[in-house]
């Protein structure tokens, strides 16, 4: 029998083994928590003491595998129900991971999780900043028009899809985003004024550009998400499908 083998952190970010090893380590860390507490790396608890216990167990197991939780990349949203006022309050934190405090989100602070913007505990309107900034970068980049179209089609639009499907937005906002996209595409390809707008979202097999129309695709994806929730075998998911903030 050999002595204890100390696990280091020799796999660089981007290595093909990195996501596999990360999932294995996180699974062992979540195994230290009650089944009701952990989802991915979001920790939930009904009491302050319970949440701190969960944080300690999670970080200690990660440390055994050579990983360290970075408090600066963590966020805390402590919610306390106020029955007399029929509301939920966001209170001060006071939680630590290791010896470092976890910064608490304020009521007016905008924070992002998986591409969806939140303010306090509620989702806010989907932002146009990401799309506008990316389109300007593509326009200024020393690339051929075909390369810009490929970046738009295969990188930018799929990147924005998740946030638009799960974020809060209106049909008017989707139309605005479509107009921004069409305007950028027209400038890249230097279209004459007579080219119809339907040419841009038309499928490639129909001699179009195949740039997905957000105002057409996002509503159907949102509907599919809600139908999947209503058809879930988990009762909590079925109930959540009818809540206003989910829809």
Residue 235 domain flag: yes
Same domain for 230 and 133, yes or no, is yes
Residue 73 domain flag: yes
Percentage of residues of the chain with pLDDT beyond 90: 23
Same domain for 133 and 92, yes or no, is no
Tokens matching residue 94: 């006071």
Reply yes or no on whether the pLDDT at 121 is more than 90. Answer: no
**Structural domain containing residue 44:** 17-104
Percentage of residues of the chain with pLDDT beyond 70: 78
Handedness of CA 25, 28, 32, 37 (dihedral sign): positive
Residue 115 domain flag: no
pLDDT digits (tens, 9 = 90+) for 72-86: 888 888 777 676 766
Tokens matching residue 29: 């860390």
Cα separation of 229 and 241, whole Å?
6
Same domain for 67 and 154, yes or no, is no
Reply yes or no on whether the pLDDT at 193 is more than 50. Answer: yes
Number of domains in the chain: 2
Average pLDDT score over residue span 220-244:
83
Cα separation of 27 and 153, whole Å?
34
Cα separation of 95 and 29, whole Å?
19
8 A C-beta contact, residue 135 and residue 177: no
Give the chain's mean pLDDT. Answer: 80
Average pLDDT score over residue span 213-223:
91
Reply yes or no on whether the pLDDT at 238 is more than 90. Answer: no
Residue 177 domain flag: yes
Task: List C-alpha distances in Å: 103 to 91, 92, 95, 227.
Answer: 12, 9, 8, 36
Same domain for 148 and 210, yes or no, is yes
Tokens matching residue 162: 């998740």
Region of poorest pLDDT, from 4-8, 31-35, 129-133, 189-193: 31-35
**How confident is the model at residue 24, as a pLDDT?**
72
pTM of the shown model: 0.64
Q: Which residue has the higher pLDDT, 203 or 109?
A: 203
Q: Which residue has the higher pLDDT, 247 or 51?
A: 51
Same domain for 94 and 137, yes or no, is no
Residue 213 domain flag: yes
Cα separation of 89 and 76, whole Å?
13
End-to-end Cα separation, the chain, in angstroms: 57
Same domain for 22 and 93, yes or no, is yes
**How confident is the model at residue 37, as a pLDDT?**
41
Residue 169 domain flag: yes
**How confident is the model at residue 216, as a pLDDT?**
92
Reply yes or no on whether the pLDDT at 231 is more than 60. Answer: yes
Structure-derived torsion over alpha carbons of residues 135, 137, 140, 141, reported in degrees to the nearest 10: -110
Task: List C-alpha distances in Å: 185 to 50, 128, 180, 192, 199.
Answer: 52, 17, 9, 12, 11
**How confident is the model at residue 40, as a pLDDT?**
52
């Amino acid at each position: 029998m050999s002595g204890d083998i100390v696990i280091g952190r020799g796999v660089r970010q981007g290595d093909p083994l990195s996501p596999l090893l990360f999932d294995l380590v996180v699974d062992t860390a979540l195994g230290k928590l009650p089944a009701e507490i952990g989802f991915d790396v979001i920790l939930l608890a009904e009491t302050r003491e319970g949440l701190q216990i969960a944080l300690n167990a999670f970080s200690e197991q990660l440390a055994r595998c050579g990983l360290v939780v970075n408090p600066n990349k963590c966020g805390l949203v402590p919610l306390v129900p106020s029955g007399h006022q029929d509301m939920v309050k966001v209170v001060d934190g006071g939680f630590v991971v290791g010896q470092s405090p976890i910064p608490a989100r304020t009521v007016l602070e905008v924070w992002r999780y998986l591409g969806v913007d939140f303010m306090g505990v509620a989702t806010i309107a989907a932002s146009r900043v990401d799309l506008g900034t990316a389109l300007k970068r593509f326009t200024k980049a020393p690339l051929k028009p075909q390369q810009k179209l490929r970046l738009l089609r295969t990188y930018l639009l799929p990147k924005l899809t998740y946030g638009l499907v799960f974020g809060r937005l209106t049909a008017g906002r989707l139309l605005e985003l479509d107009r921004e996209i069409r305007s950028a595409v027209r400038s890249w390809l230097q279209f004459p004024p007579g080219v119809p707008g339907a040419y841009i979202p038309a499928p490639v097999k129909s001699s179009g550009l195949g740039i997905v129309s957000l105002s057409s695709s996002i509503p159907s994806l949102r509907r599919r998400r809600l139908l999947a929730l209503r058809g879930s075998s988990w009762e909590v998911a079925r109930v959540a499908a009818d809540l206003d903030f989910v829809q």
